[in-house]
Amino acid sequence: MRARVFRWVGVATAVAAIVPAAAVGKPSKAELKAAVREAKRECQLERGSTDATRAAFRAKYGSLGLGHCVKVRTRDALREAAQARRQALKDCKVERAQDPAAFAEKYGTNRNRRNALGRCVSQKMRVIAAKQDRADREEIEAEHNAAAACRAERSQDPQAFAEKYGTNRNKRNAFGKCVSQRARADQESEQPEPNGDAHGGQPHEHPNGGSGQGDPGSGAGEGSSSPGTV
């Protein structure tokens, strides 16, 4: 148990060191702890319980597996929180400018209603965060569906599968590339019209592969999945 605690503390410390201060400000200990907790939950969900989802997880995050995933998703969670805070503050200031008295009455709770802006930001941040979480879950679901489809395709003809998807020297990244392509296609097919935004934000970004809808077979995980086995 002690080793596990130290491992997660190490992850949190490493993430705090690599998150650009300009991007998120300086997160508090509580914010960092919450981000690590969210990352652990998402990584366990992403890893899943089937052979196919676990193979896709290995292809995406490499030999470091869960620890690497937590590091990546903690950084994403901190970035998303900073984006949500900036957007909420901007929206609340616009709303306040339209009718300061109505704004204070709507959001203020203390005697002089001077906490109205803070209360407004907190409320709007929760809404934005819920949309971000829903987008993350949809991304993970798309990857799980893609992993199952790729495993079925590979079982029909492993050699043809490797030739079709593999891009490195020994084609061992074929499974990760397949999952990446199928998951991306799945999410793109469900994107709203340009004037609509189903998720309320930008695509989920992973520093090790550009986008969470990106390439699970690249970066640290490339070559970790052979074309013939899961």
Summarize pLDDT for 151-198 with one digit per residue, the tens: 999 999 999 999 999 998 899 999 999 999 999 998 887 766 555 444
Residue 9 CB neighbour total at 10 angstroms = 12
- Rounded to an integer, what distance in angstroms lies between the CA atom of residue 104 and that of residue 120? 9
The pair of structure tokens assigned to 95 is: 């709303």
The H or E element containing residue 191 is none
State the pLDDT at residue 193: 57
What phi, psi does 206 have (nearest 5°)? Answer: -115, 125
- Rounded to an integer, what distance in angstroms lies between the CA atom of residue 207 and that of residue 23? 13
Is the pLDDT at 203 greater than 60, yes or no? Answer: no
One-letter identity of residue 79: R
169-194 burial, b for 16+ CB within 10 Å, e for fewer?
Answer: eebbbbbbbbbbbbbbebbeeeeeee
Residue 202's pLDDT band (boundaries 50, 70, 90)? very low
Is the pLDDT at 140 greater than 90, yes or no? Answer: yes
What phi, psi does 39 have (nearest 5°)? Answer: -65, -45
Please name the residues in contact with 49: beta carbons below 8 A apart, sequence gap of 6 or more: none
pTM (2 decimals)?
0.66
Residue 97's pLDDT band (boundaries 50, 70, 90)? very high
Asked if 80 and 212 touch (Cβ cutoff 8 Å), the reply is no
- Rounded to an integer, what distance in angstroms lies between the CA atom of residue 53 and that of residue 140? 10
Residue 2 CB neighbour total at 10 angstroms = 6
What average pLDDT does the structure give for the chain? 79
Asked if 81 and 31 touch (Cβ cutoff 8 Å), the reply is yes
Longest distance between any two alpha carbons in the chain, whole Å: 72
State the pairing for strand pair 210-211/205-206: antiparallel
Is the pLDDT at 78 greater than 90, yes or no? Answer: yes
